Structure formats: structure tokens, C-alpha cells
Amino acid sequence: MVEGMISTEEKEIGDDRFTDLGNAMKLVNKYGSTIRYASIFGWLMWGNDRWYRNAQSHIDRLCHSLFSGDFKTALMEFVNAGGELRDVKKFATHWHKSRDAGKLRSMEKLARSHVEIEPSTLDSDCVLWSKWKKW
């Protein structure tokens, strides 16, 4: 599937599909199993065997990836995935605006609360905590 297109998860977004919150939910739906946010660490990303801190540049790339690529392909995917023809103009406008740096930052900030973890949970498992301490 082309980045930025409607997936089965995105259909759950409903009316927020063409908003910054909808974009945040796209990010969480696609990458939520490998990203977390902790207030004292910032963004975390899952590597092969542990969580890594200072993952802001990784998150920035993930946000950008949702709206990168060829628009014509994205539009065809939108229609083929069940997007209504009456929404094509709205989709096009939203897709192009979502590539703006401010919109990407808004998506990232809104996604935080959906993958946020309490730092105290990180030391609940001695094995996992020992991997944290290797930083």
C-alpha cells in the first residue's frame, strides 16, 4: 500500500480522516507497536531487543513517510480503498497540506498521548531495565 492511503485501520478514524488528529492516528495505527513517548525521555523507538531513546529524528521520518511518494498513486489508492469520489478534492488538499512542516509537527505532537508510557513502568522488569541502562 502506498504511504498516506486509507487502510483498514484508517477507516476507524472516521470524520477525523482529513485532520491533524487523523494524521496522528495514521501514525499510531501504522507504527504504534514500535514507538513510545515518555515525558522524561522524549520519543523512544523499538530496536531488535530494546527501546532506544532520542528517537526524534526517527519519528520525523515516520511522519514524513505517511505523505511522501507520488500523489497520483496515492489518489488511486484512495479511490481503490473505498474513498468516496466526492471526497477526492478534500483528500488532495489534505494530502498536500499534510506535507507542510507545521502539519507534520502537529501530527507528531498529537500522537504522543496515544503511545505515551509512564517512565516508572520501564523499570518494572529487571531484564528490560538492564537494557535501558546500557545507554
Cell numbers linked to 28: 499510531
Task: Give 124: exposed, middle or buried? Use CB within 10 Å, 0-12, 13-18, 19+.
Answer: exposed
For residue 3, the model assigns a pLDDT of 39
Which of 68-72, 95-99, 129-133 has the largest mean confidence? 95-99
Cβ-contact 2, 74 below 8 angstroms: yes
For residues 122 and 105, which has the higher predicted lDDT (pLDDT)?
A: 105
- Spatial separation of the C-alpha atoms in residues 36 and 52, rounded to whole Å: 10
Cβ-contact 109, 101 below 8 angstroms: no
Phi, psi values for residue 50, rounded to 5° = -165, 170
- Is the pLDDT assigned to residue 126 strictly greater than 50? yes
**Structure confidence by residue, pLDDT tens digits, 36-53:** 999 989 999 998 888 888
pLDDT band at residue 12, thresholds of 50, 70 and 90? low
Determine the 3-state secondary structure of 74 from DSSP. helix
Q: Could you tell me the pTM of the whole model? A: 0.77
Q: What is the mean pLDDT of residues 64-72?
A: 90
